[in-house]
């Protein structure tokens, strides 16, 4: 029996659904276990792999199975995501607080799955399977707790706490709401905030609709939207950690999208530090604002003749 056939049997007996017992799932398991065609399963070992340069390269080099580059997302979404949920793989075990969309994202066979798989085709296999089934619920709970411990807490003005997924981008977003707004938009309300895991983590649909912002097209909004009702000012803020400041093109897009909005619009690019800001200075549109998390008491005005405020 070939290794790919054995891998698919292992996945079936570990309790994976039919959709994750297919060929691509089997090859992914072989890559995570670092098992070649003539290796014994007892030789499996744990090593972190990225998707493209790790798992797909291993499959290509050792099984001569070539997958197109766009298969990366298929492996990530339809195989590895389910492996993690089932306790078979660990996500970012070397750097648990990596942001969700980090290019350094990696996977490794879990310790309990490795221990179980190494006993395949031995007299201990059934006992190992029972042990896996017994322990996996505990491991899932532990994984969930560890993931939550890495999250970024964001306290809203009414005392509610949102838990943002880990990463620098969301650290900037939390600082915008807690630090920027308290200094430069006092008395304002959070209308919208996205998240790298959840694009609509927070939304005040009623107020957005009242001031003329379409509530069914969140993908067009910037990362954060804050509204200061006393002045009728709308703060549209992009949190910038690698790309995406308020460029002239982005301003035109937002002006078109917000054509029916009755509030005065203020466009802001928020950066974690001065180093990141300097990388994007040539992209930032005039008549916008810059706020840097590293220096929360200050702002940089790209407005020329005036300080912060909308240009009606």
Contacts of 299 (CB under 8 A, 6+ apart): 184, 289, 290, 291, 308
- The pLDDT value given to residue 46: 97
- What secondary structure letter does DSSP report for 123? T
Distances in Å between the Cα of 141 and the Cα atoms of 111, 135, 138, 238, 302 are 15, 10, 5, 34, 48
Vertex 33 angle, CA 28 and 34, to 5°: 95
* Domains, in order of start, for the chain: 3-149 (1.10.10.1820), 152-301 (3.40.1350.80)
CA 87 to chain centre: 20
DSSP-H helix ranges across 187-280: 205-210, 248-257, 274-279
**What is the rounded distance in angstroms from the CA atom of residue 97 to the CA atom of residue 218?**
27
> What are 147-164's pLDDT values in tens digits?
555 667 777 767 778 888
What is the CB neighbour count within 10 angstroms for residue 91? 19
Looking at residue 201, what is its pLDDT?
A: 80
User: Which residues does residue 90 pair with via DSSP β-bridges, in sequence order?
Assistant: 108
Q: Which residue has the tokens 């744990």?
A: 46
User: Which three-class secondary structure string do you get for 38-54?
Assistant: CCCHHHCCCCCECHHHH
Look up residue 71 and give its two tokens. Answer: 């298969």
- pTM check: above 0.75: no
Q: Which alpha helices (DSSP H) does 199-306 contain, by range?
A: 205-210, 248-257, 274-279
CB 227 within 8 A of CB 242: no
In the predicted model, residues of the chain with pLDDT beneath 70 are 100-101, 137-151, 157, 196-200, 217-219, 242, 304-307, 311-312
> What pLDDT was estimated at residue 255?
93
| CA–CA separation, 199 and 208 (whole Å) | 16
Residue 113, classed as helix, strand or coil, is helix
Query: How far is Cα 153 from Cα 104, in angstroms, rounded to an integer?
Result: 23
C-alpha 291/C-alpha 276 separation (Å) is: 12
């Amino acid at each position: 029996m070939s290794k790919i056939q054995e891998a698919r049997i292992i996945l079936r007996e570990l309790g994976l659904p039919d959709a994750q017992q297919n060929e691509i799932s089997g090859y992914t398991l072989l890559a995570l276990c670092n098992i070649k065609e003539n290796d014994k399963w007892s030789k499996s070992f744990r090593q972190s792999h990225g998707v493209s340069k790790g798992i797909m390269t291993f499959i290509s080099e050792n099984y001569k199975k070539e997958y197109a580059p766009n298969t990366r997302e298929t492996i990530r979404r339809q195989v590895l995501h389910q492996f993690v949920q089932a306790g078979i793989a660990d996500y970012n075990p070397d750097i648990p607080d990596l942001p969700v969309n980090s290019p350094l994202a990696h996977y490794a066979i879990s310790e309990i799955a490795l221990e179980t798989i190494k006993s395949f085709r031995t007299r201990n296999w059934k006992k190992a399977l029972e042990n896996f089934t017994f322990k996996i619920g505990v491991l899932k709970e532990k994984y969930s707790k560890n993931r939550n411990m890495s999250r970024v807490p964001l306290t809203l003005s009414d005392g509610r706490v949102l838990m943002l997924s880990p990463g620098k981008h969301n650290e900037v977003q939390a600082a915008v709401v807690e630090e920027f707004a308290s200094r430069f938009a006092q008395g304002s309300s959070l209308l919208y905030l996205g998240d790298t895991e959840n694009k609509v983590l927070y939304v005040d649909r009623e107020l957005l609709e009242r001031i003329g912002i379409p509530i069914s097209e969140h993908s067009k909004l910037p990362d954060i939207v804050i509204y200061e009702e006393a002045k009728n000012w709308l703060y549209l803020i992009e949190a910038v950690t690698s790309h995406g400041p308020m460029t002239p093109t982005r301003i035109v897009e937002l002006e078109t999208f917000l054509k029916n909005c009755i509030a005065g619009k203020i466009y802001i690019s928020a950066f974690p530090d001065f180093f990141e800001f300097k990388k994007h200075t040539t992209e930032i549109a005039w008549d916008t604002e810059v706020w840097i998390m590293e220096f929360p008491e200050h702002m940089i005005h790209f407005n020329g003749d005036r300080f912060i405020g909308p240009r009606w």
